[in-house]
Amino acid sequence: MANESFARLLIRCADQPGIVAAVTSFLFQHGANITELDQHSTDPIGGKFFMRLEFQTPKLDLSRQALEQAFAEAAGRRYNMDWHISYAADRPRMAVLVSAHDHAALELLWRWQRGELLVDIPCVISNHDTLRAAVEGFGIPFHHVPQNTAEQRAEAETRMLELLGEDADFLVLARYMRILGPAFVARYPNRIINIHHSFLPAFVGADPYRQAYERGVKIIGATAHYVTADLDQGPIISQGTAHVSHSDEIDDLRRLGRDLERQVLARAVRWHVEDRIIVDGNKTIVFD
């Protein structure tokens, strides 16, 4: 089926008998064909229940609004669900924030150009002007918003919010080497994805590859996570590792790390776009 013929339903609620039957029966009764179903329970008795369904929509007998109202009445309120339906035809709008390192941002733009990342990209914002030509080569607007000191942060973030307006559903920090303020982060709850060049929770903060080298670690990693007001403490989405040895210098670790960062970030963004992530507190359930 064409991409636009799919919808996705995410559910989080207390685990109890009858949830799967209620949901699948409802969709069947209204002409949906379920093509993918994943579920997870933390404990069958008194635990939490998580579900992701993907279903075909061409034969639905209700409009979107009517379907969602009917689902709320048939199952949502009955099981006290936190639920959301999204439609694959509605391409999410992804804005990218980047500093001077180009590898993570260009990986996303390349995948977008090839049709592997089904999003619209309204703009790329950077605190450096270095990547303007590369970004504009993809036909994407590039905005330079300087932020060289902590004192400039409030002004820079105000300007970025003006540029983003209502045009971005979520943000990706593709090695954006500036800390975002709590008010900015609060505008996009669980909708800012960051790539941290470390296998969190190890080596938080600046220059983790140097920290790893100085500790003589044998594994380095990269972590994609949602951004919260606490630095590098948000819910983890995806991680990757690579083995290193005593013969590797800091530059070797950074080179290997860049490859990890590209892969891990692209995977996390795809999972977000495909509604494969449910955030539960400071943890994620990922149906990959």
pLDDT in tens, the chain (288 residues): 446 789 999 999 999 999 999 999 999 999 999 999 999 998 877 799 999 999 999 999 999 999 999 999 999 999 999 999 999 999 999 999 999 999 999 999 999 999 999 999 999 999 999 999 999 999 999 999 998 777 889 999 999 999 999 999 999 999 999 999 999 999 999 999 999 987 766 777 667 778 888 888 888 889 999 999 987 889 999 999 989 888 888 888 889 989 999 999 999 999 999 999 999 999 999 999
Same fold, 3-87 and 94-286: no
Active site (annotated) includes residue 38:
no
Type of residue found at 197: H
The Cα-based distances of 216 to 22, 32, 207, 263 in angstroms read: 54, 55, 15, 24
Single pTM value for the model: 0.92
* Yes or no: domain 94-286 corresponds to CATH 3.40.50.170: yes
Close Cβ partners of 8 (under 8 Å, ≥ 6 residues apart): 52, 53, 54, 55, 85, 86, 87, 88, 274, 275
Alpha-carbon separation of residue 34 from 24, 192, 273 (angstroms): 8, 30, 19
Helices and strands (H and E) in the chain: how many: 8, 13
> Which residue in the block uniquely carries the two structure tokens 């008010």?
183
Q: 3-state DSSP helix/strand/coil percent for the chain, to nearest 5?
A: 35, 25, 40
CA within 13 Å, CB half, 253: 26
Q: Is 204 exposed, middle or buried, given 0-12, 13-18 or 19+ CB atoms closer than 10 A?
A: middle
Contact predicate 209/215, CB 8 Å: no
Residue 212: phi and psi, rounded to 5, are -65, -40
**Domain-wise residue ranges, the chain:** 3-87, 94-286
Helix (H) or strand (E) holding 37: strand 33-41
Which helix (H) or strand (E) segment holds residue 215: the answer is helix 208-215
Choice among 102, 232, 248, 275 that is catalytic: 232
DSSP labels, 104-167: HHHHHHHHHHTTSS--B---EEESSSTTHHHHHTTT--EEE----SGGGHHHHHHHHHHHHTTS
Question: Regarding the domain with residue range 3-87, which homologous superfamily does it belong to in the CATH classification?
Answer: ACT domain (3.30.70.260)
Q: Give the single-character DSSP code of 217.
A: -
Q: Do residues 257 and 227 touch, judged by C-beta distance below 8 A? A: no
